[in-house]
């Protein structure tokens, strides 16, 4: 199997971002930026090893930022990006991988799909980089800074913006960096594709992503922060429901919306469907909306003999009104009889219909109490339900 390593370049001082802490260690959504950049590689199934090139002064920051991540020991970077990469490659050379992906620590939004595209492209070529075709019109400025004017418009046909990761067959890029050090003195290569190009290596352009931007300025950091907090615009809440109804003479029961022929019926104001009542209370509980009795008082004649799917549908409607959605509902029916197993699939279907969610989000289970207690003596049926709901987090706090 192809062995792929990742080399993350984090040795820069980030002179464009003010602050005592270098930008790769600045917090982003409560986590150091570097940690986010690393996590995509450390958690990727095709990446066997991750190595970071750091600034010698940053060892303590690095240790704190990467605690618990499966990484090789860091390597000390050099004065330039090119030197840091070369040192990183040399540090991998004793146990050389087949492929190496070189990535800037300042791009924390690299994703698994992009990593996968690059590795796939390296099956064809010795080099492959993430890049985006240029969409903006390019202007060449006259040299009248600080108030430049347009000298000419540059044809953007065939122009791409290079990102990282940049991937290479390991021996090829190691050799290119070694030769660049000895033979291209005085030239500073700003990315590894430039080193590869100088060395005559063919480099494929692989579609990057706008999300994979480099955090360079304070504006970038603010944009990154907005993106990260965007992931957190929802919150999850859980509610619990419990219900019991006793038996009385009859010939059927309703459980989770399914009519089951039985020698007794459940006694209650409505159709006494304990499963639907517990489920309704679970959702109302997750919403902090009281219980089924608040919404459908037994004193109200409207609910006399009412089919209980109305109650559950109402709870689902309240959830929808809050902009939320059901993550899952799990109902447990507790009785000796009737037997639930033969009706379980129909119950799941019915609950999913009432709630208007996929069946995969609904669970129905049944248990007996081994002959103990009121359910064991066949005096009635109990039901428990747990519902987890997703709700949009309100701006400005809890409301
Ligand atoms: Mg009830």
Token couple for 296: 């459908």
Q: Where are the alpha helices (DSSP H) in the chain?
A: 33-42, 59-66, 81-92, 112-121, 170-183, 192-198, 218-230, 274-287, 292-295, 309-321, 344-355, 373-376
| Beta-carbon-side half-sphere exposure of residue 16 (alpha carbons within 13 Å) | 9
Cα-to-centroid distance, 297 and ligand 1 (Å): 11
- Looking at residue 38, its pLDDT comes to 95
Contacts of 148 (CB under 8 A, 6+ apart): 141, 142
The set of long-range contacts for 211-215, using a CB threshold of 8 Å and a minimum separation of 24, is: 211/109, 211/111, 212/107, 212/109, 212/110, 212/111, 212/114, 212/130, 212/163, 213/107, 213/109, 214/104, 214/106, 214/107, 214/163, 215/17, 215/23, 215/28, 215/33, 215/106, 215/107, 215/108
Residue ranges with strand state E in 11-154: 27-28, 31-32, 47-54, 75-76, 99-104, 127-133, 138-141, 150-154
Cα-to-centroid distance, 345 and ligand 1 (Å): 22
Cα-to-centroid distance, 246 and ligand 1 (Å): 10
- Looking at residue 325, its pLDDT comes to 93
Cα-to-centroid distance, 309 and ligand 1 (Å): 12
Cα-to-centroid distance, 270 and ligand 1 (Å): 8
Cα-to-centroid distance, 226 and ligand 1 (Å): 45
Cα-to-centroid distance, 244 and ligand 1 (Å): 6
Cα-to-centroid distance, 243 and ligand 1 (Å): 5
Cα-to-centroid distance, 292 and ligand 1 (Å): 8
- Cα separation, 314 vs 311, whole angstroms: 5
- Looking at residue 396, its pLDDT comes to 42
- Looking at residue 397, its pLDDT comes to 43
Cα-to-centroid distance, 315 and ligand 1 (Å): 15
- Cα separation, 7 vs 30, whole angstroms: 24
Per-residue pLDDT in tens (0 to 9) along the chain, 399 residues: 789 999 999 998 765 556 678 889 999 988 999 999 999 999 899 999 999 999 999 999 999 999 999 999 999 999 999 999 999 999 999 999 999 999 999 999 999 999 999 999 999 999 999 999 998 999 998 877 778 899 999 999 999 999 999 999 999 999 999 999 999 777 889 999 999 999 999 999 999 999 999 999 889 998 898 888 765 578 899 999 999 999 999 999 999 999 999 999 999 989 999 999 999 999 999 999 999 999 998 888 888 888 999 999 999 999 999 989 999 999 999 999 999 999 999 999 999 999 999 999 999 999 999 999 999 999 999 999 999 999 987 644 454
- Cα separation, 255 vs 243, whole angstroms: 12
CB burial class (10 A; 0-12, 13-18, 19+) of residue 302?
A: exposed
CB 273 within 8 A of CB 257: yes
Cα-to-centroid distance, 291 and ligand 1 (Å): 10
Cα-to-centroid distance, 152 and ligand 1 (Å): 78
Cα-to-centroid distance, 388 and ligand 1 (Å): 20
Cα-to-centroid distance, 312 and ligand 1 (Å): 12
CB 118 within 8 A of CB 101: yes
Q: Using DSSP, state whether 54 is helix, strand or coil.
A: strand
DSSP annotation of 58 reads G
Cα-to-centroid distance, 272 and ligand 1 (Å): 6
Cα-to-centroid distance, 49 and ligand 1 (Å): 57
Residues in the chain: 399
Cα-to-centroid distance, 281 and ligand 1 (Å): 9
- Looking at residue 175, its pLDDT comes to 97
Cα-to-centroid distance, 288 and ligand 1 (Å): 19
Cα-to-centroid distance, 245 and ligand 1 (Å): 6
- Looking at residue 279, its pLDDT comes to 98
Token couple for 129: 């980089």
Cα-to-centroid distance, 399 and ligand 1 (Å): 29
């Amino acid at each position: 199997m192809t062995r792929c390593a990742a080399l993350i370049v984090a040795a820069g001082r980030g002179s464009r971002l003010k602050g005592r802490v270098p930008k790769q260690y600045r917090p982003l959504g409560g986590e150091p930026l570097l940690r986010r950049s690393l996590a995509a590689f450390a958690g990727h199934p095709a990446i066997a090893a991750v190595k970071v090139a750091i600034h010698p002064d940053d060892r303590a920051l690095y240790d704190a930022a990467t605690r618990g991540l499966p990484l090789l020991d860091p390597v000390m970077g050099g004065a330039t990006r090119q030197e840091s990469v070369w040192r990183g490659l040399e540090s991998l050379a004793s146990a050389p991988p087949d492929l190496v992906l070189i990535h800037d620590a300042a791009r924390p939004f690299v994703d698994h799909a992009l990593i996968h595209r690059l590795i796939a492209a390296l099956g064809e070529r010795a080099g492959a980089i993430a890049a985006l075709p240029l969409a903006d019109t390019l202007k060449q400025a006259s040299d009248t800074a600080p108030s430049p004017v347009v000298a000419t418009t540059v044809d953007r046909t065939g122009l791409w913006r290079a990102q990282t990761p940049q991937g290479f067959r390991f021996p090829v890029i190691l050799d290119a960096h070694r030769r660049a050090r000895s033979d291209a003195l005085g030239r500073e290569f700003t990315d590894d594709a430039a080193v590869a190009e100088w060395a005559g290596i063919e480099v494929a352009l692989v579609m990057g992503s706008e999300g994979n931007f480099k955090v360079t300025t304070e504006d970038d950091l603010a944009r990154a922060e907005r993106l990260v907090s965007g992931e957190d615009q929802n919150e999850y809440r859980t509610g619990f429901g419990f219900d019991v109804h006793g038996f009385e003479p009859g010939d059927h029961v309703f459980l989770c919306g399914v009519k089951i022929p039985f020698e007794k019926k459940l006694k209650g104001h409505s159709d006494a469907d304990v499963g639907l009542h517990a489920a309704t209370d679970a959702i109302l509980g997750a919403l902090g909306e009281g219980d089924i009795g608040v919404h459908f008082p037994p004193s109200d004649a409207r609910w006399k003999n009412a089919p209980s799917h109305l109650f559950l549908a109402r709870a689902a409607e309240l959830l929808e009104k809050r902009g939320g959605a059901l993550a899952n509902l799990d109902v447990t029916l507790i009785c000796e009889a009737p037997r639930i197993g033969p009706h379980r699939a129909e119950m799941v279907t019915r609950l999913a219909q009432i709630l208007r969610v996929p069946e995969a989000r609904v669970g129905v289970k049944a248990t007996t109490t081994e002959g103990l207690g009121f359910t064991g003596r066949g005096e009635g049926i109990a039901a428990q339900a747990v519902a987890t709901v997703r709700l949009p987090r309100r701006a400005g706090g809890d409301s």
